[in-house]
């Protein structure tokens, strides 16, 4: 078993973007007030950097909420021959047959699906 690295942390993976967004929400008003009081290039840069970090963190939160964990890999030997034959009969091309087969069996890899289709053609 390999050594666990400091950044392999499920707590940080789960709550990191939320905590960072909370920190940015606390820091934001001060940064914006400073930029409004003193309009120097440095203050404007800080506001832009803060806004960019907020956008990145919100995007990361949305991506994590909508990203579904990868499905379990499927052994090609467990795919019924009827499913392969159906995919070939329904599709006009090899590519569409492979796509149809992978839609029916989400854990099936691209190479494995192509091999199954090629073996039945």
pLDDT tens digits for range 30-64: 999 999 999 999 999 999 999 999 999 999 888 87
Averaged confidence pLDDT in the chain: 87
Domain extents in the chain? 10-66, 76-120
Q: Which of 70, 83, 82, 84 minimizes the C-alpha distance to 115?
A: 84
pLDDT tens digits for range 12-23:
777 888 888 899
Whole-prediction pTM value? 0.50
Longest dimension (CA), the chain: 73
pLDDT band at residue 121 under the 50/70/90 scheme = confident
Percent of the chain with pLDDT over 90: 58
Question: Which tops the pLDDT comparison, 4 or 106?
Answer: 106
pLDDT tens digits for range 68-86:
666 688 889 999 999 999 9
108 neighbors 101 (Cβ within 8 angstroms): yes
Q: Which of 108, 101, 60 minimizes the C-alpha distance to 81?
A: 101
The span from the CA of 83 to the CA of 80, in Å, is 5
79 neighbors 108 (Cβ within 8 angstroms): yes
Q: What was the pLDDT predicted at 64?
A: 79
């Amino acid at each position: 078993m390999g050594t666990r690295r400091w950044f392999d942390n499920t707590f940080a993976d789960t709550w990191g973007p939320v905590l960072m967004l909370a920190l940015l929400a606390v820091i934001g008003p001060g940064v914006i007030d400073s930029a409004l009081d003193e309009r120097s290039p440095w203050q404007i840069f800080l506001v832009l950097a803060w806004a960019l970090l907020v956008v990145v963190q919100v995007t990361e939160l949305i991506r994590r909420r909508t990203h579904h964990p990868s499905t379990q890999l499927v052994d090609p030997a467990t795919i019924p021959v009827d499913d392969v034959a159906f995919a070939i009969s329904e599709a006009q091309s090899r590519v569409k047959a492979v796509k149809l087969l992978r839609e029916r069996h989400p854990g099936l890899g691209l190479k494995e699906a192509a091999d199954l289709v090629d073996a039945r053609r």
